[in-house]
Structure 1
């Protein structure tokens, strides 16, 4: 075991063991280490109860203590340390009735979703793999721990997680897992939109996102995702588009273009996206229509903003298999005399003084006129030059 993140966390395992408890790295970090993927965070499982963990480590935060998780602060880093646990019968196909703390690693791993996520690794790098997660990884398969129908009836979101892992890893679903999802897709109606969105965003950001999208279609999961239930043909079209290079935001824009129709606000709100994101995507949709009709001008790039213009261009180029004009957009933007109205050398107060008039609708119209004159380089962005231009145009 030579990964730096693990090495930094080894002292926590050592201290737990010195205190008489078991401690292991678990879950996604072990899976990704075995796969040779980059590891972003470390999860630790232990036989120590939350109160016992807090006695061992001086600096802790109760981030999810009711579920057995304590955040341990060590050398400037935070590590989630969770007590081995078993979960009772699930309610509403999404959460357990109660969590029971236990001392058995096997029983803790047994409650997990997929075999590749049910591996543990000790401080020396020895892997504990009671459910053959390594074998599933070797065969590039997503296999549930135990019966797939039981795992999905416990938490229906696990079906979306299966599709998401297929998108991220390029793995196939084991036959029994695929069949179980087809049979139980309807349970997704019990899952909160926010949880669905979290998995969906990871899916459409995955390296093998087409595989994930195809699974949503083949299993019927798409029917239970906001605004997608009656858009099978549009989703199938996504499978023909080379969209792997698109960012998450660009993927949302692409999806909105294909499926939102004349009700984009309703579609985006149904996903409970942040209002800032909705506003951004609505602007992108407006510019997508204009981009379809005419190429970018300097004024367009200024008006849209660089971020929106680039996102629109990327989506336009993959959707219509058109030339990607991103470099030209960058050049247009870099050559702008100003990047925002706030950069104008004059403001409303100046204009009121010059025109000897009170603020009113005329003020905004005049500022827009000056703004366009500066962008068209009819005048320099200097207060006196702008005043001279206004006089030449008989505005003053």
Structure 2
């Protein structure tokens, strides 16, 4: 078990304890430590109030003080330290009406979602496990803390989180919890799309995504989610963990729709990736020669094409064929990538101005086509990437 991150944070717990308060590691980091999984973030919970934490440490940031969270900066690392808290009634199935600071660890962990996330651990690696979370880890079981209907009624995102943990951890969902998911799934319509996308992305990239994705359809989850509810998601199959952008591209490609990606509130970079995949799918049937493949590798890059090849089973399940394996394969793509003369248009030894001056022409839509023809000719080694050679080629090969 990797203790490094906990040992790095241990002086913070010790300092809090030396000032007369309790302090523990809690949540996903403890769960992953007990499962011997990689640990990325350490969360600390304490009986000390936010004001008391600010009094103990000199370098703090009040990132969420009203909710009990203070960022403690120690050895150039940031650690979130949150006061034990209870919560009032939940509004809209997504957020509590008030946060109440308490001094009792039990009160703090009993408000958490699943038993496997409700285990606390001190700086001596002794655990406080009020809800048998460690036993559920050993039994590979996802079970809510207390009544599942109450937990999902408080925050409907917990339904998606439970499914996400099943995908990532390869656990089974407790039968009572799954029944509650079925009855409370409609409450997910109250969730913000941003929260849904974060969880859905992690779920789809989980080891057991191919098993959990059908459960999303069985629960009719997507009918409550903007954008997705416009598609027949049950008609899409996934065979492996998949990036959200590729799943959306497959849906959009297979089921033509004018629904705007803006409904998802994803980044512009994600939108560009989706459109890139869709364009790629449309061009795949045309890749029948080594010459066409060279331009394809130049246009889409080895990273994207390697990923597409990795996802060939999922693409085939959705009737998206990659073309003949003797042409479109990782060995050919890698060889072409290593020998590309240029990797982007700016690598060409001419630009639009050079072409206009050499032909004594004014600009127009034709220029874009000429530059593209030059690109393809260089990529396929029909002309060297030298200014004089390119200009001569243009004069003899291009009609305006």
> Structure 1 stretches (4+) deviating beyond 6 angstroms?
none
- For residues 135-146 of structure 1, the aligned pairs below 5 Å read 135-146=135-146
- For residues 16-165 of structure 1, the aligned pairs below 5 Å read 16-165=16-165
Distance 1:394 1:160 in 2: 57
Task: Report the 3-state secondary structure (helix = DSSP H, G, I; strand = E; otherwise coil) of the residue aligned with 2:187.
Answer: helix
Distance 1:330 1:394 in 2: 32
Partner deviation per Cα, 1:152-177 (whole Å, 9 max, x = no partner): 11001100111000001111111110
Distance 1:294 1:370 in 2: 20
What is the TM-score of this pair, normalised by structure 2? 0.90
When residues 177 and 35 of structure 1 are mapped into structure 2, their CA distance, relative to the original with a 3 A threshold, is same
Distance 2:205 2:2 in 1: 29
- For residues 216-231 of structure 1, the aligned pairs below 5 Å read 216-229=216-229, 231=232
Q: Which moved more, 1:361-370 or 1:20-29?
A: 361-370
Q: Does 1:355 align with 2:356?
A: no
Q: Which moved more, 1:222-231 or 1:64-73?
A: 222-231
- For residues 300-311 of structure 1, the aligned pairs below 5 Å read 300-311=296-307
Return the offset for 1:345: 0.2
Q: Which moved more, 1:302-311 or 1:28-37?
A: 302-311
Q: Which moved more, 1:221-230 or 1:148-157?
A: 221-230
Return the offset for 1:395: 6.8
When residues 272 and 117 of structure 1 are mapped into structure 2, their CA distance, relative to the original with a 3 A threshold, is same
What is the TM-score of this pair, normalised by structure 1? 0.91
CA root-mean-square deviation: 2.2
Distance 1:232 1:348 in 2: 45
Return the offset for 1:42: 0.3
Return the offset for 1:367: 2.0
Distance 2:125 2:76 in 1: 24
Count matched residues.
388
Quote the residue 2:332 is aligned against. Answer: 328
Return the offset for 1:359: 2.6
When residues 290 and 354 of structure 1 are mapped into structure 2, their CA distance, relative to the original with a 3 A threshold, is closer
Structure 1 regions of 5+ residues with no counterpart?
none
CA contact (8 A) 1:284 1:311 kept: no
Distance 2:251 2:11 in 1: 46
Q: Does 1:286 align with 2:279?
A: yes
Distance 2:355 2:195 in 1: 51
Return the offset for 1:216: 1.4
CA contact (8 A) 1:57 1:72 kept: yes
Return the offset for 1:255: 4.7
CA contact (8 A) 1:280 1:308 kept: no
Quote the residue 2:185 is aligned against. Answer: 185
Distance 1:232 1:359 in 2: 46
